[in-house]
């Protein structure tokens, strides 16, 4: 056995091939650098991206693959140059762990759009040439720039989904100033991990929130559990027609293929539709866009600046995702349930208690 294997002190669960089946795995993290933070992981959210790359959905998976990019934990050590964090602090890591740090987007704290590309938290090539491994593991070493302070009063398990699902909807919502227009109307398409956070942020911003879903079963939870103002079955053409030109904003979290013209018709003049899902195509009539001076906007996660802002906002306004906490041994079942959309609304792995 090589010396590197002898020093393999990071416990994890990893996929070894395209089956995506996760099982125990040990490996070595890089040594702590002067700008790094070493984090004892307490919880990690389960994202659909974990499933995609575990099963080589994009054809670029590098095995063994350790998923997980909604990471929270406690600082166990810091490099000599690190001033933002100290041992014992609550801390988070999201979808990326490196960027060029020199382009206009990095300089603006919008690193997720780095000109030269970001290094994702797992399955990417890091600056030292190693392959990044994610949060289904006992600890991680990350440059302090890509770490986030989690307010002490905010539960760590609840913070995990904010670092992908939460920021993916929060960032475009504040970019389009939805937080500055209480009383305006927001439509949310889809009610999964992202959609339920869009509802929560919309209500926290004082918006009038309507949920659109193809599943009538989502009505009760939309209204009573999440506090939406209205539920619309999107397949009901009469319900849809009745809401013609009535929305200031629509955020579309659905990744399944669906028509866009019916939703474009719901926007007021100068209304905005933000797409954060990834359907196989986006198709609408130009008149749907041009005649109402409407905007269609795309977005992915968020840079370091807006991510920290979101975490502080959630703590201040007591915005918590709905989570189902699971042990690491349940990870394979959780991924299967994710395919069936059988989760309300985000799995969070209790790494600290179950990964031994």
CATH class held by domain 3-164+320-354: alpha beta
Mean pLDDT of 324-351: 96
1 falls in which pLDDT band (50, 70, 90)? very low
pLDDT at 270: 97
Decide if pLDDT at 3 tops 60: no
pLDDT (0 to 100) of residue 336:
97
Over residues 52-85, the pLDDT tens digits come to 999 999 999 999 999 999 999 999 999 999 999 9
Task: Name the CATH superfamily for 166-298.
Answer: NAD(P)-binding Rossmann-like Domain (3.40.50.720)
Q: Whole-angstrom Cα distance, residue 149 to residue 320?
A: 16
In contact, 208 and 186? CB cutoff 8 Å: yes
> What is the average pLDDT value for the chain, to the nearest integer?
95
Starting at the edge strand found earlier in the chain, the sheet holding 208-213 runs 230-233, 208-213, 185-189, 247-252, 267-275, 295-298
The owner of tokens 């703590």 is 315
Rounded to whole angstroms, how far apart are CA atoms 104 and 107? 5
**CB within 8 Å of 307: residues ≥ 6 apart:** 94, 148, 163, 167, 171, 301
Tell me: pLDDT of 6 over 70.
no
**Model confidence pLDDT, tens digit, residues 270-325:** 999 999 999 999 999 999 999 999 999 999 999 999 999 999 999 999 999 999 99
**What is the residue extent of each domain of the chain?**
3-164+320-354, 166-298
Percent of the chain with pLDDT over 70: 98
> DSSP string spanning 279-321?
-S-----HHHHHTTT-EEEE--S--HHHHHHHHHHHHHHT---
pLDDT band at 175 (very low <50, low <70, confident <90, very high): very high
């Amino acid at each position: 056995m090589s010396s590197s294997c002898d020093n393999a002190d990071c416990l994890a669960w990893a996929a070894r091939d395209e089956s995506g089946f996760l099982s125990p795995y040990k490996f070595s993290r890089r040594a702590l650098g002067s700008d790094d933070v070493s984090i004892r992981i307490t919880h990690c959210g389960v994202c659909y991206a974990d499933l995609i790359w575990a099963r080589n959905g994009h054809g670029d998976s590098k095995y063994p693959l350790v998923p997980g990019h909604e990471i929270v934990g406690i600082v166990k050590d810091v490099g000599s140059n690190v001033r933002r964090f100290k041992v014992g602090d609550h801390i988070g890591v999201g979808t990326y762990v490196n960027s060029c740090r020199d382009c206009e987007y990095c300089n603006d704290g919008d690193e997720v759009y780095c000109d030269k590309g970001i290094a994702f938290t797992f399955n990417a090539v890091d600056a030292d040439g190693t392959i990044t491994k994610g949060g289904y593991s006992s600890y991680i070493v990350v440059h302090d720039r890509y770490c986030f302070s989690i307010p002490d009063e905010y539960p760590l398990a609840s913070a995990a989904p904010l670092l992908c699902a939460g920021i993916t909807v929060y960032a475009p919502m504040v970019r389009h100033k939805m937080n500055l227009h209480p009383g305006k109307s927001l439509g949310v398409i889809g009610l999964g991990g992202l959609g339920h956070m869009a509802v929560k942020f919309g209500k926290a911003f004082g918006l009038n929130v309507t949920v659109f879903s193809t599943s009538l079963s989502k009505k009760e939870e939309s209204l009573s559990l999440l506090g939406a103002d209205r539920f619309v079955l999107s397949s009901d053409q009469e319900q849809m027609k009745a809401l013609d030109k009535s929305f200031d904003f629509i955020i579309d979290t659905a990744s399944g293929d669906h028509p866009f013209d019916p939703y474009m018709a719901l926007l007021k003049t100068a209304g905005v539709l933000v797409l954060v899902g990834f359907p196989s195509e986006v198709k609408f009539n130009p008149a749907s866009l041009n005649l109402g001076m409407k905007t269609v906007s795309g977005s992915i996660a968020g840079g370091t600046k807006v991510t920290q802002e979101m975490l502080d906002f959630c703590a201040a306004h007591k915005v918590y995702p709905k989570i189902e906490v699971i042990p690491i041994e349940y990870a394979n079942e959780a991924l299967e349930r994710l395919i069936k959309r059988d989760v309300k609304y985000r799995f969070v792995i209790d790494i600290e208690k179950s990964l031994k």
